[in-house]
Amino acid sequence: MRLLYTNDNRLIVANARNIVEAAGIGVVLKNEYAAGGIGELSAFDAWVELWVTDDSNYDRASRLLKNAFSAENAVPWTCSNCNESNDPSFDLCWNCLR
């Protein structure tokens, strides 16, 4: 087994898991319930980890996540209220805040 991805946000790790599993690659979550141990454990040691079960699939799984989480795949969007163009990272229009 090999560590593929970790993050302090369990929802992002769950998203990564869904992406990799959809490609037919076996994965295992570790530290899924470790958050309750923060204090005895460092916060970093309690992050949820996504591990690939077969090392031969690691490179393929890594490429899948790199492509999925890459900003290159994000597209600008146009606000339906004021027609302002916004970067993909904005959830709200920077011009009218809608």
User: 44-59: per-residue pLDDT in tens?
Assistant: 677 899 999 999 999 9
62 confidence band (pLDDT: 50, 70, 90): very high
Judged against a pLDDT cut of 90, whether residue 36 lies above it is answered with no
pTM over 0.75: no
CA angle 68, 72, 64 (to 5 degrees): 25
CATH architecture of 2-73: 2-Layer Sandwich (3.30)
% the chain with pLDDT above 90: 60
